[in-house]
Structure 1
Amino acid sequence: MSARAIISEITGIVAAPEPLAVRAEAVLTTLRRRLRFDAGRISLHDPERRLQPTLASCGYDQRLLEYFDGPELVHNVELLGLHRRATPVRISSLPIRPAELPLWAEHLHPAGFREGIAVPLRTTDGRYFGVFSACTESATPICDTTCGFLARTSTVIAHAVDPMRTIAAMAGLVTDAVAGVVLTRGGNIEALPGLPGHRLLAPGSPVLAEAISCYRDGDSRAGFLTPTRPPDPPGYLKVTMLTCGEQLPHHLTAIIVLHSPGDLRHLSHREMTILGRLITGGTVEQIAAALRIPQSAVNAALEQARTKLGARSSAAAVMRAADLGLYLPPPPVPGCVASDSALRLDGTFPTT
């Protein structure tokens, strides 16, 4: 199979609407026909847990796979400098002696492998996210032609198995998006391809804290409103949180996107605030005390919201607001976020 045919086939895999693991298996199968290796693996880097778990593999026994998915593999990657390299590295031309690489000396060589190659996977903008590696039982050194082929092909391989592609496609389901980030398992954020970041989604912001809370509560999808901040004109943005799903064996867990609020059903700021506090478990008495208004005012606002939402009861209005994301969450507990990001609850927009 020619190099051109291999690249063409992998390009077809890139375009296929398949889950990430299925695409990775297809890439591995295609490469094995061209390179004729005895065992191979595609892995994704998890920087928070310092692991590089397997996405797809062939030819390795269970003991080796368990080692690959354990904490020592990243140390080997760093010894080789794969996370900094842009080109493949062969066992026969390692930058260190093979005996100094635990992966090879203690695991792959005793398992009968005599040559191997590792190819760092990077996006077109240089982001490292994993490795394609292959081993042979033959001691014949992998030739320069094969190294050159893999160097040329590494970008398209990376494009086929980059989890951010799947995540960006999921984010594309949210119309009118103006900004977004990706939430990690450790509560950190990463850039979302195709969308800029936003200070409302910055670490420590109340908007991000609420979205993280929705994710940790087990919601697969959640939405709520947030007031805009200067220099944007007064108004609202919708915040939508989507979990990445189990099909991504990675540290990336959820997408958080800002977009147009859509039809607000003429709800007032106070009504959306009261709905938000009811959704999060507040009582009429507690809400009245927090907003420093009479309980009768809370009930009147709730009745207005019920009418605007077309609900048969106050309870149904609260459920509908939750389903539609037409509510303003309560501000976080003081001390959890910066004080200048607290929301006003008196029906006006912040001016600073």
Structure 2
Amino acid sequence: MREFPDRDLETASEVGQIASGQGGVEQRAGAILDTLHRLVPFRAAVIFLLDPDRREAMPISSRGYDRAVSEYMSSSANIAEIELLGLTRHRAAMRVRDLPVPAERVRGWVEYLRPAGFREGLAVGLFTPEGRHLGILGLNTDTERHPTESARELIGALAPTIAKAVDPTRSLAGMARIVNAARAGILLTRGGNTLPLIGLPGHRLLGVGSSVLAVVARQVPVSGGYGSFLCPDAADDTVDSHVRITVLPCPPDTPQHVNAVVLLSRAGDLHGLTGRELEILGLMVEGWPNRRIAAVLFIAPRTVAAHVEHILPKLDVSTRTLAAVRALRLGLYVPLPLAAV
């Protein structure tokens, strides 16, 4: 392992303290750039995360770049160039002189950075511990003397710590802990894809394209990303077995491509409601009358009315409307797309 001077070790220690400290993602990213400036006298620097759905860069801390350079950095063209240079796969920091192709063949350097007065630069990919690519740290100088080889090696060694500091899923994982006994969880992106949630495994019901995530995607714009509902769990041999799906809103500092935190846990107290009654409650929550409920569930209207009569005392309410309100508040219903019809 390479030995670094004491000054560099102090920089590493400070970056570690920032990564473990409080504050939002943008605050930690800005503090890291301040610290790295003492190591490399950059004229401009940026830390950005990637939007995997739109293939765009989302700067969380940027300084020193003009409008043209900033717009290019956020573009899909820059993302494609970053991928070609290997920064989404390889973890080593690279200066312009270290690139696997001549700098004259790199569009971002030739058309934007070099004309803006930059003479050298460094970029390193930021990865989560499980290997997911988060984004890029980049900095540029107006002299070819910096970054030095030693600075490149140190920043490369610090990249995992920097990734920890700017990983927005950290705060989301903390939110997940408020749901007692959550057994699984994921992050749902705006484009319908999923990202892992630190500390929890995934689950087949939370896979891309599942009916559960389709329900979540429909509900998030209406509820603001908060609420819960029940889902039949066919993997369980118990009759009328259900799991609870809880949807949590994302905090303000979460990147815009993350739409919601989705958790799976035990169903909890079902108040004696049967599987069919939970399905009927799902339609009552939607405001459906008995005749329409009967048609979609392929049962007689009088059967629906009988179920409603049984539901009211179980929820300790006197009217159909109050039953729907309480079912929605307690998450005691199965949405239609998940019903066994």
- Following superposition of structure 1 onto structure 2, how do residues 105-254 of structure 1 map, counting pairs within 5 Å? 105-231=110-236, 233-234=238-239, 235-254=241-260
Alpha-carbon shift at residue 141 of structure 1 (Å): 4.3
Determine the C-alpha separation between the residues in 2 that align with 1:230 and 1:79. 43
One-letter amino acid matched to 2:227: A
Aligned-residue Cα RMSD (Å) equals 2.1
SS of residue in 2 equivalent to 1:52: strand
Partner residue, 1:75? 80
Deviates more, 1:295-304 or 1:43-52: 295-304
Deviates more, 1:235-244 or 1:82-91: 235-244
| Pair 1:301–1:231, CA change in 2 (3 A) | closer
Determine the C-alpha separation between the residues in 2 that align with 1:330 and 1:76. 45
- Following superposition of structure 1 onto structure 2, how do residues 30-49 of structure 1 map, counting pairs within 5 Å? 30-49=35-54
The one of 249, 260, 265 aligned to 1:259: 265
Q: Check whether the contact 2:141–2:147 (CA below 8 A) recurs between aligned residues.
A: no
Determine the C-alpha separation between the residues in 2 that align with 1:231 and 1:307. 28
Partner residue, 2:27? 22
Determine the C-alpha separation between the residues in 2 that align with 1:231 and 1:304. 26
What are the Cα deviations for residues 288-318 of structure 1, in whole angstroms up to 9, with x where unaligned? 2333444343233324323222334321220
One-letter amino acid matched to 1:191: P
Determine the C-alpha separation between the residues in 1 that align with 2:123 and 2:150. 15
Partner residue, 1:299? 305
Deviates more, 1:72-81 or 1:288-297: 288-297
SS of residue in 2 equivalent to 1:256: strand
Alpha-carbon shift at residue 245 of structure 1 (Å): 4.1
TM-score, L = length of structure 2: 0.91
Determine the C-alpha separation between the residues in 2 that align with 1:319 and 1:16. 42
Alpha-carbon shift at residue 8 of structure 1 (Å): 2.4
Deviates more, 1:215-224 or 1:156-165: 215-224
SS of residue in 2 equivalent to 1:49: coil
Determine the C-alpha separation between the residues in 2 that align with 1:306 and 1:9. 60
Alpha-carbon shift at residue 176 of structure 1 (Å): 0.8
Aligned length: 335
Percent identity reads: 37
Q: Check whether the contact 2:39–2:151 (CA below 8 A) recurs between aligned residues.
A: no
Q: Check whether the contact 1:92–1:141 (CA below 8 A) recurs between aligned residues.
A: no
Determine the C-alpha separation between the residues in 1 that align with 2:84 and 2:277. 58
Determine the C-alpha separation between the residues in 1 that align with 2:286 and 2:184. 26
Q: Check whether the contact 1:179–1:195 (CA below 8 A) recurs between aligned residues.
A: yes
Determine the C-alpha separation between the residues in 1 that align with 2:245 and 2:114. 52
SS of residue in 1 equivalent to 2:39: helix
One-letter amino acid matched to 1:120: G
Partner residue, 1:338? none
Deviates more, 1:131-140 or 1:231-240: 231-240
One-letter amino acid matched to 1:286: R
Alpha-carbon shift at residue 71 of structure 1 (Å): 2.3
Q: Check whether the contact 1:20–1:161 (CA below 8 A) recurs between aligned residues.
A: yes
Partner residue, 1:4? 9
One-letter amino acid matched to 1:101: V
Q: Check whether the contact 1:121–1:129 (CA below 8 A) recurs between aligned residues.
A: yes
What are the Cα deviations for residues 27-83 of structure 1, in whole angstroms up to 9, with x where unaligned? 222222332211110011122212122111112223322221122211221232111
Alpha-carbon shift at residue 99 of structure 1 (Å): 1.4
Deviates more, 1:240-249 or 1:93-102: 240-249
2:277 aligned with 1:271, yes or no? yes
Unaligned 5+ runs, structure 2: 1-5
Alpha-carbon shift at residue 216 of structure 1 (Å): 4.3
TM-score, L = length of structure 1: 0.88
Deviates more, 1:178-187 or 1:149-158: 178-187
| Pair 1:92–1:111, CA change in 2 (3 A) | same
What are the Cα deviations for residues 103-162 of structure 1, in whole angstroms up to 9, with x where unaligned? 111111111111110011112222211110111112214222111111111110011111
Determine the C-alpha separation between the residues in 2 that align with 1:205 and 1:75. 30
SS of residue in 1 equivalent to 2:151: helix
Unaligned 5+ runs, structure 1: 333-342, 346-352
